[in-house]
C-alpha cells in the first residue's frame, strides 16, 4: 500500500475540483482574452485571492494591463493560389493550410511570390547550420519543415537528437523568416509526432481572432503571411513544381542541404477585421518579511481558446486540463502560503498571464515590464496542463538538465519517496511552449514541472497511454472538459511538492543557478 498523502490543509481534492470545474465551465466561455470570458475569469481569480487574504501583485493592482491586437479573417474560406508550370492549384484554408497575418493589417496581398523550400528554416550557429545560406528570401514565400534535423535523423550529435530545440518550433521559424525579409512562411505539419500534436490542434488554435502584441510594444519584424501546410498539401504543391517532397524532406536533414527554389509562385489576399483591446495579467502576492524586494514567482496561464460558434455540437473550449489544472494548483499553493503562521522572508508572486495560447505573449510582456526586477527574481516555477491520472513514482521536469531548481525539487521529492524524471516525449518541445520560457530567455532560473507518468497503478505504460490519449483526443478541443471522477491524488502530491519547493526558496537566501552547460546561464551569470 502506498503511503497516505501528507498535504497542507489547503491542498485537497475538494478545493481542486471546485476551482477546476468553475474555470472550465461554459460560464467562462473558454477564457478567451478580449471577451466576456476574460472579464469573468480574471474577476473570479481576484475574488479567490481576496478571500485568501493575499495582496495585489502589481503596485496595488491585481492586474497588469497588456495592450493587444486582434486580427480576424473576414473570409475563413480563403485560399492560396500556386502557379507552377503554367498551371494553377488552389490550397484551401483549414483543410490544406491555416493562414494568418502577423502584422495586424486589415488587408495583406501576396502576389506571385516566388516559393523556396528552406528545409528546417534554421540558422543555428551552435551546430554550424544555416538553411538560409546563399539565398535571398526577401519578398518570397518560404516553406519549412516542423521540428529540426536532430529529430529527423535521431543523431544525438545533430542539434539535440530527438529532443526538439527552439529551432524546431513554429514560433522560431516565423521569427527567422521575418528577420530574413520573407513575405510568407509556411510550416509543414509533417506528422503528429514531429509537430507534437495532430492537425486538428493547428486548426482549432488558428480559428477565430488571432491575438498579438502591438508593434509599439513588440517591435520585432513580423511576417505579412504566416501559416501551416498539411503534409498532403505540401506533397501536392511540390509535385505541381515537378519535385518530390518526400525526397527533399530526407535531404533537408543532412549537412550540406541547400535551399531549393520551386519555380512556382504563391498568391493570396487576406482581409481582416482589426481590433484593439487591453487584456490582463493577474498578479497576487504574499509580501516577504525581511527581503520583500526579492521574489519567487509561481506561473500558470489563465487563457484558453474561447468558443467556435461555427462548430457543430459543443462550442466551448473549456480547457479543464489546459490550464484549469495549473490554475487550480496555484490557487491551492497561494492559499497555503496565505495561511502560514509567519510570512516568508521573500515575496511570493502568483502570476497568471494572459495570451499564452497566442505565443506566450502575456509573460513576454511581464518580462519586459516586470513588477520585481529580474535580477531580484529568484526563480519562476511554472505549471501547465497537469494530467489528472493518479499518483506517480515521479514528477516530470520538462527540459530536464537546466538548473539547480531540479536538485532542490529532487530533495523535496525524497520526503514523498519519489524522484524527478525527464519528459518522455522531448521531441514535442514542451520546454518552449509555456510561459516559463520567457523567464529563462531573460536569465531567470525557470522550471516547468508536471505530474509524472510512472503511475503507482499501471506504471509508465499506463501513464504514457493516458498522456497520448489526451493529446490525441482532448488537447485544444472542446473535449477538454472537467470530469468529477478524475483521480487528482497525483496532482495534489505534486502541488505539495511545488509548495514546499517555493517555501525553501522564499524562506532562505539561496539563489539557484543555471547549470554550467545551460544555454540560459550566460544571460544572468552566477549570483552569490
- Residue 526 is predicted with a pLDDT of 61
Peptide bond into 323 cis (omega under 30): yes
> Could you read off the pLDDT of 386-416 as tens digits, one per residue?
999 999 999 999 999 999 999 999 999 999 9
304 within a domain of the structure (yes/no): yes
Going by C-alpha positions, the residue among 408, 285, 298 that lies closest to residue 347 is: 285
SS3 content of the chain, % helix, strand, coil (to 5): 35, 25, 40
Question: What is the percentage of the chain residues whose pLDDT exceeds 90?
Answer: 94
7 within a domain of the structure (yes/no): no
Residues 179 and 247 grouped into a single domain: yes
> Could you read off the pLDDT of 137-177 as tens digits, one per residue?
999 999 999 999 999 999 999 999 999 999 999 999 999 99
Instruction: Share the mean pLDDT of the chain.
Output: 96
Residues 299 and 330 grouped into a single domain: yes
439 within a domain of the structure (yes/no): yes
Q: Tell me, what CATH number does 39's domain have?
A: 3.40.630.10
526 within a domain of the structure (yes/no): no
Residues 45 and 115 grouped into a single domain: no
> Could you read off the pLDDT of 289-344 as tens digits, one per residue?
999 999 999 999 999 999 998 888 999 999 999 999 999 999 999 999 999 999 99
Last residue of a domain, one of 274, 302, 324: 274
| Mean local confidence (pLDDT), 117-126 | 97
Q: Does the model's pTM come out above 0.85?
A: yes
Q: Tell me, what CATH number does 245's domain have?
A: 3.50.30.30
Residues 244 and 341 grouped into a single domain: no
Q: CA–CA separation, 180 vs 491, rounded Å?
A: 44
Q: Does residue 357 carry a pLDDT above 90?
A: yes
- For residue 55, count other CB atoms closer than 10 A to its CB: 15
Q: Does residue 108 carry a pLDDT above 90?
A: yes
With beta carbons less than 8 A apart as the criterion, state whether 57 and 285 touch: yes
Residues 100 and 45 grouped into a single domain: no
- Residue 382 is predicted with a pLDDT of 99
Q: Does residue 426 carry a pLDDT above 60?
A: yes
Q: Does residue 433 carry a pLDDT above 60?
A: yes
Residues 345 and 424 grouped into a single domain: yes
Could you tell me how far CA 65 lies from the centroid of its own chain?
20
| Mean local confidence (pLDDT), 284-293 | 98
Q: Does residue 52 carry a pLDDT above 70?
A: yes
62 within a domain of the structure (yes/no): no
> Could you read off the pLDDT of 311-326 as tens digits, one per residue?
889 999 999 999 999 9
| Per-residue pLDDT band at 113 (split at 50, 70, 90) | very high
Residues 221 and 334 grouped into a single domain: no
1 within a domain of the structure (yes/no): no
521 within a domain of the structure (yes/no): no
| Mean local confidence (pLDDT), 213-232 | 95
Query: What number of H helices and E strands is found in the chain?
Result: 15, 19
How many separate domains does the chain show? 2
Residues 35 and 116 grouped into a single domain: no
Give kind and range of the element (H or E) at residue 89.
strand 87-92
Could you tell me how far CA 480 lies from the centroid of its own chain?
17
Last residue of a domain, one of 228, 251, 274: 274
Q: Does residue 1 carry a pLDDT above 70?
A: no
**C-alpha separations of 353 from 82, 249, 258, 381, 395 in Å:** 40, 37, 41, 13, 24
Range of the domain at 432: 13-52+287-509
Residues 409 and 448 grouped into a single domain: yes
Residues 263 and 312 grouped into a single domain: no
Q: CA–CA separation, 211 vs 101, rounded Å?
A: 11
Indicate the range of 12-16, 271-275, 518-522 predicted with least confidence.
518-522
Report helix, strand or coil for 38.
helix
| Per-residue pLDDT band at 76 (split at 50, 70, 90) | confident
Residues 386 and 256 grouped into a single domain: no
| Per-residue pLDDT band at 284 (split at 50, 70, 90) | very high
Q: CB-based contacts of 335: which residues, under 8 Å, 6+ apart? A: 10, 15, 52
With beta carbons less than 8 A apart as the criterion, state whether 369 and 40 touch: no
Residues 35 and 120 grouped into a single domain: no
With beta carbons less than 8 A apart as the criterion, state whether 362 and 310 touch: no
5 within a domain of the structure (yes/no): no
Report helix, strand or coil for 51.
helix
- Residue 161 is predicted with a pLDDT of 95
Amino acid at each position: 500500500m502506498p503511503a497516505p498523502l501528507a498535504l497542507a490543509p489547503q491542498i485537497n481534492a475538494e478545493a481542486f475540483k471546485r476551482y477546476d470545474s468553475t474555470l472550465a465551465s461554459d460560464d467562462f466561455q473558454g477564457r478567451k482574452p478580449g471577451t466576456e470570458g476574460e472579464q469573468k475569469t480574471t474577476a473570479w481569480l481576484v475574488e479567490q485571492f481576496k478571500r485568501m487574504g493575499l495582496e495585489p501583485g502589481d503596485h496595488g493592482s491585481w492586474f497588469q494591463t497588456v495592450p493587444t491586437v486582434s486580427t480576424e479573417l473576414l473570409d475563413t474560406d480563403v485560399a492560396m493560389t500556386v502557379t507552377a508550370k503554367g498551371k494553377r492549384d488552389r490550397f484551401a484554408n483549414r483543410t490544406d493550410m491555416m493562414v494568418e497575418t502577423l502584422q495586424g493589417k486589415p488587408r495583406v496581398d501576396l502576389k506571385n511570390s516566388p516559393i523556396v523550400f528552406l528545409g528546417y528554416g534554421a540558422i543555428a550557429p551552435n551546430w554550424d547550420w544555416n538553411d538560409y545560406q546563399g539565398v535571398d528570401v526577401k519578398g518570397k514565400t518560404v516553406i519549412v519543415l516542423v521540428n529540426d534535423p536532430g529529430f529527423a535523423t535521431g543523431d544525438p550529435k545533430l542539434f539535440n537528437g530527438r529532443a526538439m530545440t527552439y529551432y524546431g518550433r513554429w514560433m522560431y521559424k516565423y521569427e527567422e523568416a521575418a528577420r530574413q525579409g520573407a513575405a510568407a512562411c509556411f510550416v509543414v505539419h509533417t506528422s503528429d509526432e514531429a509537430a507534437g500534436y495532430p492537425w486538428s490542434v493547428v486548426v482549432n488554435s488558428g480559428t477565430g481572432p488571432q491575438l498579438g502584441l502591438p508593434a509599439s510594444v513588440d517591435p520585432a519584424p513580423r511576417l505579412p503571411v504566416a501559416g501551416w501546410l498539411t503534409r498532403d498539401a505540401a506533397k501536392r504543391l511540390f509535385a505541381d513544381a515537378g519535385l518530390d517532397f518526400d525526397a527533399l524532406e530526407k535531404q533537408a536533414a543532412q549537412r550540406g542541404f541547400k535551399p531549393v527554389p520551386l519555380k512556382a509562385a504563391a498568391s493570396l489576399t487576406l482581409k481582416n477585421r482589426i481590433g484593439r483591446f487591453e487584456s490582463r495579467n493577474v498578479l497576487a502576492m504574499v509580501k516577504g518579511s525581511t527581503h520583500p524586494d526579492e521574489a519567487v514567482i509561481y506561473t500558470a496561464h489563465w487563457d484558453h481558446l474561447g468558443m467556435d460558434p461555427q462548430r457543430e455540437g459543443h462550442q466551448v473550449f473549456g480547457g479543464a486540463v489546459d490550464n484549469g489544472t495549473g490554475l487550480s494548483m496555484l490557487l491551492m499553493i497561494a492559499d497555503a502560503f496565505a495561511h502560514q503562521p509567519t510570512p516568508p522572508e521573500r515575496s511570493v508572486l502568483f502570476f497568471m498571464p494572459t495570451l499564452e495560447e497566442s505565443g506566450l505573449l502575456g509573460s513576454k510582456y511581464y518580462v519586459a515590464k516586470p513588477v520585481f526586477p529580474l535580477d531580484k527574481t529568484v526563480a519562476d516555477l511554472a505549471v501547465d496542463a497537469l494530467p489528472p491520472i493518479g499518483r506517480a513514482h515521479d514528477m516530470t521536469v520538462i527540459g530536464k538538465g537546466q538548473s539547480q531548481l531540479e536538485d532542490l525539487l529532487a530533495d523535496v521529492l525524497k520526503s514523498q519517496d519519489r524522484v524527478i524524471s525527464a519528459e518522455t516525449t522531448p521531441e514535442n518541445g514542451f520546454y518552449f511552449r509555456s510561459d516559463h520560457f520567457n523567464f529563462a530567455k531573460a536569465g531567470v532560473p525557470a522550471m516547468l514541472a508536471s505530474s509524472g507518468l510512472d503511475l503507482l497503478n499501471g506504471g509508465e505504460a499506463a501513464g504514457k497511454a493516458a498522456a497520448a490519449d489526451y493529446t490525441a483526443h482532448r488537447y485544444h478541443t472542446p473535449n477538454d472538459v472537467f470530469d468529477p471522477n478524475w483521480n487528482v491524488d497525483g496532482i495534489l502530491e505534486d502541488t505539495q511538492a511545488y509548495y514546499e519547493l517555493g517555501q525553501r526558496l522564499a524562506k532562505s537566501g539561496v539563489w539557484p543557478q543555471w547549470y554550467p552547460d545551460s544555454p540560459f546561464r550566460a544571460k544572468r551569470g552566477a549570483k552569490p
